Amino acid sequence: MLTTICYLLIVGLLGVWLIDGVDHIKDRHPHWFGEVELTTNTV
């Protein structure tokens, strides 16, 4: 049980860290994400 909670916490933190990193990269290099934004907006 504890291992499951720890695993979920680590995955959650990694997810937040990755999202923060992507937002940071978007600010720096918006042209990298032009195509990605188009695909996510249509979904």
Range of the domain at 13: 2-38
Residue 31 in domain? yes
Taken as a whole, the chain contains a residue count of 43
pTM over 0.85, yes/no: no
Mean pLDDT confidence for 20-42: 71
Residue 23 in domain? yes
Q: What is d(CA 22, CA 33) in angstroms, rounded to the nearest whole number? A: 9
Query: For 10-24, what is each residue's pLDDT tens digit?
Result: 999 999 999 888 888
Residue 14 in domain? yes
Name the CA dihedral angle for 19, 24, 29, 33, rounded to a multiple of 10 degrees: 20
Residue 43 in domain? no
pLDDT computed for residue 7 by the predictor: 95
> Hunting for tokens 């940071």 — which residue is that?
24
What's the structural domain count of the chain?
A: 1
